[in-house]
Each structure stands twice: as C-alpha cells, then as structure tokens.
C-alpha cells in the first residue's frame, strides 16, 4: 500500500509540473487527502466515500484504516469556517475549509 501511495504521489507531482496535463480539482483534492478514485458509486471495504473525482464521474474513497478518518467517524460534525468551534475534533470534512467540531 505504501508503494502505491508513493507512486500516486509521484504521478501527481509529474502531472502538476507538466503544463496541460493537470488533474481536475476534485481529483487533486481527493489525492491531497490520500484518497483513491473508484469507478463505482460505493467504496469497497475498508474505504469510505469522501467526495468525487474526475469531474464528478468517479467516487473519492479514503482508507478508514489509516490516520485519515472522516469527521463523522470520529464523533464530530463538519461546520463552515464562519462558525466557531468550542472544541475541535480530528477528522476530515468533505468541504474545503470546513472544520470538524465536537461542540459548536
């Protein structure tokens, strides 16, 4: 799995360096969260859906066994940046800039 992640990171770097070959924004965001793009609408175990890839043609799936857990898996809820958290929680939110909070 680590070799695959390293190869994906290298591919991402090459695609960013070579003009005209950049990936769609949703795919870059998925890869930024160490996600993988799947053709199916549901993610296989142990992955969880975390948005889209390839201009909403594929599903972004993140590995639930890694350190990158979704906010809801950790017992929190996602809030927009204008809302202040009383207590922040570690976890990923599907919207850019949103934070994971246990209490608002």
Sorted by where each starts, the structural domains of the chain and their CATH numbers stand as 23-66 (3.10.360), 69-103 (2.20.20)
Residue 20 pLDDT > 50, yes or no?
no
pLDDT band at 11 (very low <50, low <70, confident <90, very high): low
Strands (E), 1-104: 36-38, 47-53, 58-63, 77-79, 87-88, 99-103
The total of other beta-carbon atoms located within 10 Å of residue 100's CB is 22
Q: Which tens digits make up the pLDDT trace of 75-101?
A: 888 888 888 888 887 777 877 678 888
Burial of residue 28, with CB atoms counted within 10 A of its CB: 0-12 exposed, 13-18 middle, 19 or more buried: middle
Mean pLDDT of all residues in the chain?
A: 77
Its pTM stands at 0.50
């Amino acid at each position: 799995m680590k070799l695959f992640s390293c190869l994906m990171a290298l591919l991402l770097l090459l695609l960013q360096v070579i003009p005209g070959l950049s990936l769609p924004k949703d795919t870059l965001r998925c890869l930024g969260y160490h996600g993988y793009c799947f053709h199916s609408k549901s993610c296989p175990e142990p992955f969880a859906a975390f948005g889209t890839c390839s201009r909403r043609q594929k599903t972004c799936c993140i590995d639930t066994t890694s350190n990158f857990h979704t906010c809801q898996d950790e017992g929190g809820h996602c809030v927009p940046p204008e809302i202040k958290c009383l207590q922040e929680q570690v976890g990923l939110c599907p919207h850019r800039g949103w934070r994971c909070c246990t209490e608002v």
